[in-house]
Chains A and B, each alone.
Chain A
Amino acid sequence: VDYSPFLGIEKGAVLQEARVFNDPQLDPRRCSQVITKLLYLLNQGETFTKVEATEVFFAVTKLFQSRDMGLRRMVYVIIKELSPSADEVIIVTSSLMKDMTSKTDMYRANAIRVLCRITDGTLLTQIERYLKQAIVDKNPVVASAALVSGIHLLQTNPEIVKRWSNEVQEAVQSRAALVQFHALALLHQIRQNDRLAVNKLVSSLTRGSVRSPLAQCLLIRYTSQVIRESTNDTQTGDRPFYDFLEGCLRHKAEMVIFEAARAITELNGVTSRELTPAITVLQLFLSSSKPVLRFAAVRTLNKVAMSHPTAVTNCNIDMESLISDQNRSIATLAITTLLKTGNESSVDRLMKQITNFMSDIADEFKIVVVDAIRSLCLKFPLKHRSLMNFLSNILREEGGFEYKKAIVDSIVILIRDIPEAKESGLLHLCEFIEDCEFTYLSTQILHFLGIEGPKTSDPSKYIRYIYNRVHLENATVRAGAVSTLAKFGAMVDGLKPRIFVLLRRCLFDNDDEVRDRATLYLNTLGGDGAVVETDEGVKEFLFGSLDVPLVNLENSLKNYDPSEKAFDINSVPKDVKIQPLAEKKATSKKPTGLGAPPPGPPSTVDAYEKLLSSIPEFASFGKLFKSSAPVELTEAETEYAVNVVKHIFDGHVVFQYNCSNTIPEQLLENVTVIVDASEAEEFAEVYSKPLRQLPYDSPGQTFVAFEKPEGVSAVGKFSNMLRFIVKEVDPSTGEVEDDGVEDEYQLEDLELVAADYMLKVGVSNFRNAWESMGVDFEHVDEYGLGPRDSLAEAVNAVINLLGMQPCEGTEVVPPNSRSHTCLLSGVYIGNVKVLVRLQFGLDGPKDVAMKLAVRSEDETVSDAIHEIVASG
Chain B
Amino acid sequence: ESCPSIKNILLLDSEGNRVAVKYYSDEWPNNSVKEAFEKSLFTKTQKTNARTEDYVFNEVGGRVIPWIEPGRVSNEDLNTTEIAMFESHIIVYKFVQDLHFFVTGAENENELILVTVLQGFFDAVGLLLRGTVDKKEALENLDLILLCLDEIVDGGIILETDANVIAGKVASHSIDAAAPLSEQTISQALATAREHLARSLLK
Q: Does A182 contact B (CB under 8 A)?
A: yes
Taken residue by residue from 94 to 122, chain A's Cβ proximity to chain B (1 for < 8 Å, 0 otherwise) reads as: 00000000111011000001000100000
Tell me the smallest distance from the CB of B151 to a CB of chain A, in Å. 9
In the complex, which residues 78-112 of chain B have their Cβ closer than 8 Å to any Cβ of chain A? 78-79, 81-85, 92, 110-112
Give CA–CA (A36, B198) in the complex, Å: 12
Give CA–CA (A262, B90) in the complex, Å: 16
Tell me the smallest distance from the CB of A79 to a CB of chain B, in Å. 11
Residues of A within 8 A of B110 (CB): 217, 255, 258-259, 262, 296
Tell me the smallest distance from the CB of B48 to a CB of chain A, in Å. 7
Residues of B within 8 A of A599 (CB): none
A148-B155, A290-B75 as given contacts; A326 in contact with B202, CB under 8 Å: no
Chain A residue at minimum C-beta to C-beta distance from B17: A44
Would A327 and B83 count as touching, CB distance under 8 A? yes
Taken residue by residue from 282 to 326, chain A's Cβ proximity to chain B (1 for < 8 Å, 0 otherwise) reads as: 000000011111011001000000000000000000000000001
Residues of B within 8 A of A254 (CB): 112
Residues of B within 8 A of A151 (CB): 3, 157
A36-B143, A70-B173, A218-B3 as given contacts; A292 in contact with B178, CB under 8 Å: no
Would A104 and B176 count as touching, CB distance under 8 A? yes
Residues of A within 8 A of B56 (CB): none
Would A327 and B147 count as touching, CB distance under 8 A? no
Give CA–CA (A795, B194) in the complex, Å: 66
Residues of A within 8 A of B158 (CB): 178, 181, 214
Chain B residue at minimum C-beta to C-beta distance from A76: B150
Give CA–CA (A650, B175) in the complex, Å: 91
Chain A residue at minimum C-beta to C-beta distance from B50: A291
Give CA–CA (A214, B173) in the complex, Å: 29
Would B3 and A189 count as touching, CB distance under 8 A? yes
Give CA–CA (A35, B81) in the complex, Å: 33
Give CA–CA (A3, B75) in the complex, Å: 34
A40-B142, A77-B147, A113-B154 as given contacts; A69 in contact with B176, CB under 8 Å: yes
Residues of A within 8 A of B84 (CB): 327, 329
Give CA–CA (A152, B156) in the complex, Å: 10
Residues of B within 8 A of A178 (CB): 158-161
Q: Does A621 contact B (CB under 8 A)?
A: no
Q: Does B127 contact A (CB under 8 A)?
A: no
Q: Does B49 contact A (CB under 8 A)?
A: yes
Q: Does B187 contact A (CB under 8 A)?
A: yes
In the complex, which residues 147-185 of chain B have their Cβ closer than 8 Å to any Cβ of chain A? 147, 150, 154-155, 157-161, 169, 172-179, 183
Count, chain B residues at interface, CB 8 A: 62
Would B191 and A70 count as touching, CB distance under 8 A? yes
Chain A residue at minimum C-beta to C-beta distance from B32: A45
Would A217 and B113 count as touching, CB distance under 8 A? yes
Q: Does A67 contact B (CB under 8 A)?
A: yes
Residues of A within 8 A of B154 (CB): 113, 145, 148-149, 152
Partner of A292, one of B111, B176, B179: B111
Most buried by B among A47, A106, A148: A148
Taken residue by residue from 1 to 42, chain B's Cβ proximity to chain A (1 for < 8 Å, 0 otherwise) reads as: 011100000000000001011000000000110110000000
A70-B194, A74-B143, A329-B85 as given contacts; A102 in contact with B178, CB under 8 Å: yes
Q: Does B115 contact A (CB under 8 A)?
A: yes
Q: Does B136 contact A (CB under 8 A)?
A: yes
Q: Does B60 contact A (CB under 8 A)?
A: no
A36-B142, A221-B2 as given contacts; A329 in contact with B34, CB under 8 Å: no
Residues of B within 8 A of A74 (CB): 143, 147
Q: Does A29 contact B (CB under 8 A)?
A: yes
Would A148 and B201 count as touching, CB distance under 8 A? no
Would B173 and A292 count as touching, CB distance under 8 A? no
In the complex, which residues 315-344 of chain A have their Cβ closer than 8 Å to any Cβ of chain B? 326-327, 329
Chain B residue at minimum C-beta to C-beta distance from A37: B202
Q: Does A357 contact B (CB under 8 A)?
A: no
Chain A residue at minimum C-beta to C-beta distance from B174: A69
Chain A residue at minimum C-beta to C-beta distance from B20: A43
Chain B residue at minimum C-beta to C-beta distance from A103: B177
Q: Does B65 contact A (CB under 8 A)?
A: no
Q: Does B203 contact A (CB under 8 A)?
A: yes
Q: Does A808 contact B (CB under 8 A)?
A: no
Q: Does A185 contact B (CB under 8 A)?
A: yes
Give CA–CA (A103, B92) in the complex, Å: 39
Would B157 and A214 count as touching, CB distance under 8 A? no
A73-B147, A218-B2 as given contacts; A258 in contact with B194, CB under 8 Å: no
Q: Does B197 contact A (CB under 8 A)?
A: yes
Do most interface residues of chain A lie in helix, strand or loop, or is the interface mixed? helix
Would B173 and A44 count as touching, CB distance under 8 A? no
Q: Does A61 contact B (CB under 8 A)?
A: no
Count, chain A residues at interface, CB 8 A: 69
Tell me the smallest distance from the CB of A361 to a CB of chain B, in Å. 11
Would A67 and B183 count as touching, CB distance under 8 A? yes
Tell me the smallest distance from the CB of A151 to a CB of chain B, in Å. 6
Would A67 and B179 count as touching, CB distance under 8 A? yes
Would A29 and B172 count as touching, CB distance under 8 A? no
Tell me the smallest distance from the CB of A48 to a CB of chain B, in Å. 13
Tell me the smallest distance from the CB of B175 to a CB of chain A, in Å. 8
Residues of B within 8 A of A113 (CB): 154
Chain A residue at minimum C-beta to C-beta distance from B202: A5
Q: Does A4 contact B (CB under 8 A)?
A: yes
Residues of A within 8 A of B173 (CB): 69-70
Residues of A within 8 A of B187 (CB): 67-69
Chain B residue at minimum C-beta to C-beta distance from A110: B150
Give CA–CA (A259, B111) in the complex, Å: 9
Partner of B203, one of A5, A218, A225: A5
Tell me the smallest distance from the CB of B82 to a CB of chain A, in Å. 5
Q: Does B64 contact A (CB under 8 A)?
A: no
Q: Does A39 contact B (CB under 8 A)?
A: yes
Most buried by B among A35, A67, A259, A292: A292
Q: Does B135 contact A (CB under 8 A)?
A: yes
Give CA–CA (A2, B140) in the complex, Å: 13
Tell me the smallest distance from the CB of B31 to a CB of chain A, in Å. 4
Q: Does A442 contact B (CB under 8 A)?
A: no
Partner of B112, one of A36, A40, A181, A296: A296
Would B31 and A290 count as touching, CB distance under 8 A? no
Q: Does A222 contact B (CB under 8 A)?
A: yes
Would B92 and A292 count as touching, CB distance under 8 A? yes
Residues of A within 8 A of B115 (CB): 292
Would B49 and A36 count as touching, CB distance under 8 A? no
In the complex, which residues 54-97 of chain A have their Cβ closer than 8 Å to any Cβ of chain B? 67-70, 73-74, 76-77, 80
Tell me the smallest distance from the CB of A434 to a CB of chain B, in Å. 34
A2-B135, A77-B147 as given contacts; A36 in contact with B21, CB under 8 Å: no
Q: Does B139 contact A (CB under 8 A)?
A: yes
Chain A residue at minimum C-beta to C-beta distance from B1: A189
Residues of A within 8 A of B147 (CB): 73-74, 77
Residues of B within 8 A of A103 (CB): 177-178
Chain B residue at minimum C-beta to C-beta distance from A33: B202
Chain B residue at minimum C-beta to C-beta distance from A69: B176
Give CA–CA (A152, B115) in the complex, Å: 24
Would B111 and A296 count as touching, CB distance under 8 A? yes
Residues of B within 8 A of A144 (CB): 159-160
Tell me the smallest distance from the CB of B119 to a CB of chain A, in Å. 10
Tell me the smallest distance from the CB of A267 to a CB of chain B, in Å. 16
19 new A-B contacts, CB < 8 A, other than A289-B79, A329-B85, are A5-B139, A5-B202, A44-B18, A45-B32, A45-B35, A67-B183, A69-B172, A77-B150, A106-B174, A144-B160, A148-B155, A148-B159, A178-B160, A214-B158, A221-B2, A258-B112, A292-B81, A295-B83, A327-B84
- 16 pairs of residues in contact across A and B, judged by CB atoms under 8 Å: A2-B135, A4-B136, A29-B190, A32-B143, A33-B202, A36-B146, A68-B187, A104-B176, A106-B172, A151-B3, A258-B112, A262-B110, A292-B78, A292-B111, A293-B112, A329-B85
Name A residues whose Cβ lies closer than 8 Å to a Cβ of B. Answer: 2-6, 28-29, 32-33, 35-37, 39-40, 43-45, 47, 67-70, 73-74, 76-77, 80, 102-104, 106-107, 113, 117, 141, 144-145, 148-149, 151-152, 178, 181-182, 185, 188-189, 214, 217-218, 221-222, 225, 254-255, 258-259, 262, 289-293, 295-296, 299, 326-327, 329
